[in-house]
């Protein structure tokens, strides 16, 4: 059974396939989030260049709103990946307890801890960009 355990395989094929699919979905969400972030940067650059030429723009909030969307999607993706890591940790713990595996739990603990920290970082980042967006919206209305 030892050869059936890897970074992505816990020894339960049905669960492993479901987790792999969830991991692919989470990764696509994060890729989409970064594409949105790039689009936001492009729009922000256009606004700055137009202002330098004396052209006023009416969509100054749009880049910030895109950053909020990007950050929110990244948070969702990180939560999904963290859940996957936690599930794999639990499965490895079961395998170790039952004697099916003699792998160390430490790598999975480190992976799960890493995702937990990523989730916390994403929460702080998302709260911050929402706060910045709200401030910017209030200043635009005034």
Domain ranges of the chain: 2-141
Q: Check: CB of residue 95 under 8 Å from CB of residue 5.
A: yes
Model pLDDT for residues 20-70, shown as the tens digit of each residue: 999 999 999 999 999 999 999 999 999 999 999 999 888 788 999 999 999
Model pLDDT for residues 89-133, shown as the tens digit of each residue: 999 999 899 998 889 999 999 999 999 999 999 999 999 999 999
Q: Give me the pLDDT at residue 10, please.
A: 64
**Alpha-carbon span 135 to 127, nearest angstrom:** 12
- Taking CA atoms, 126 is separated from 69, 133, 138, in Å, by 9, 10, 18
Judged on CB neighbours under 10 Å (0-12, 13-18, 19+), 95 is buried
Structure tokens at 53: 């030429």
Its pTM stands at: 0.87
């Amino acid at each position: 059974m030892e050869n059936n355990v890897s970074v992505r395989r816990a020894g339960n094929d049905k669960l492993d396939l479901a987790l792999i699919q969830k991991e692919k979905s989470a990764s696509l969400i994060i890729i989409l989030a970064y594409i949105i972030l790039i689009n936001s940067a492009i729009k922000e650059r256009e606004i700055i260049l137009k202002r330098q030429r004396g052209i006023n723009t009416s969509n100054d909030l749009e880049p910030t709103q895109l950053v909020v969307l990007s950050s929110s999607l990244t948070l969702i993706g990180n939560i999904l990946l963290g859940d996957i890591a936690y599930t794999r940790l639990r499965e490895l713990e079961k395998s170790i307890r039952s004697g099916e595996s003699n792998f160390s739990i430490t790598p999975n603990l480190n992976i799960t801890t890493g995702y937990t920290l990523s989730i916390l970082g994403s929460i702080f980042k998302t709260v911050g960009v929402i706060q910045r967006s709200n401030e910017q919206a209030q200043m635009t209305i005034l």
